[in-house]
């Protein structure tokens, strides 16, 4: 029977000026300390590289890993912060929706949609948004996609109605699909 050394899960947040080698440097630091890269979301926004990474590290190597992280700022310009990951616990029964929104860009759109979702007990598990030029000089468009988790007892029609009300107020197109 093989026994594994105890490990601790960490969530790393990283940000730096975009340049080649940032992910490689972070991955090397994880690997050099016996860690495992578990999950990540990485993006380039306005010339900045930003990422969230979940890693697992052997407990006996975790402190040296944490002490090595500040060197990444000097070596490659990547600021990294680490926090111990929360206990995912048991996921309560739920349903999921995929939301897609498109309309003329204006301030407050994310706040309005997020508030409508919160009022229905929904949680945003993932959100990606961007702006782009509208065809034929029509100004800027705002587009967003979100993965939304609803409690098992949530009224999907109520959620849909709350979002459609916001969509009408914001004058945006809104699509909602049930995901399984």
Domains for the chain: give ranges and CATH numbers: 7-84 (3.30.70.260), 94-179 (3.30.70.260)
Euclidean distance between CA atoms 159 and 161, whole angstroms = 5
Overall average pLDDT of the 27-51 stretch: 96
2 DSSP assignment: -
Overall average pLDDT of the 154-169 stretch: 88
pLDDT at 108 over 80: yes
- Can you give the pLDDT at residue 146? 95
**Cβ neighbours around 116 below 10 Å, total:** 19
pLDDT at 107 over 80: yes
Q: Which of the four pLDDT bands, split at 50, 70 and 90, describes residue 91?
A: low
pLDDT at 3 over 70: no
Backbone angles phi, psi at 32, to 5 degrees: -60, -20
Q: Which of the four pLDDT bands, split at 50, 70 and 90, describes residue 94?
A: confident
Q: Which residue has the higher pLDDT, 135 or 30?
A: 30
**Cβ neighbours around 105 below 10 Å, total:** 15
* Cβ neighbours for 140, distance < 8 A, ≥ 6 positions apart: 104, 105, 131, 132, 133, 134
pLDDT at 1 over 80: no
Q: Which of the four pLDDT bands, split at 50, 70 and 90, describes residue 88?
A: low
């Amino acid at each position: 029977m093989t026994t594994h050394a105890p490990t601790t899960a960490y969530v790393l947040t990283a940000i730096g000026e975009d340049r080649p080698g940032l992910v490689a440097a972070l991955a090397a630091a994880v690997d050099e300390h016996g860690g495992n890269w578990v999950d990540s979301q990485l993006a380039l926004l306005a010339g900045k590289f930003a990422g969230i990474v979940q890693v697992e590290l052997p407990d006996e190597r975790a402190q040296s890993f944490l002490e090595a992280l500040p060197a990444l700022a000097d070596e490659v310009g990547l600021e990294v912060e680490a926090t111990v990951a929360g206990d995912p616990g048991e996921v309560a029964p739920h349903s999921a929706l995929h939301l897609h929104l498109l309309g003329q860009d204006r301030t407050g759109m994310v706040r309005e949609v997020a508030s409508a979702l919160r009022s229905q007990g929904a949680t945003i598990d993932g959100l990606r948004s961007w702006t782009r030029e509208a065809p034929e000089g029509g100004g800027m468009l705002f587009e967003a996609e979100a993965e939304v988790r609803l409690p098992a007892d949530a009224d999907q029609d109520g959620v849909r109605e709350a979002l459609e009300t916001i969509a009408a107020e914001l004058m945006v197109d809104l699509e909602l699909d049930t995901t399984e």
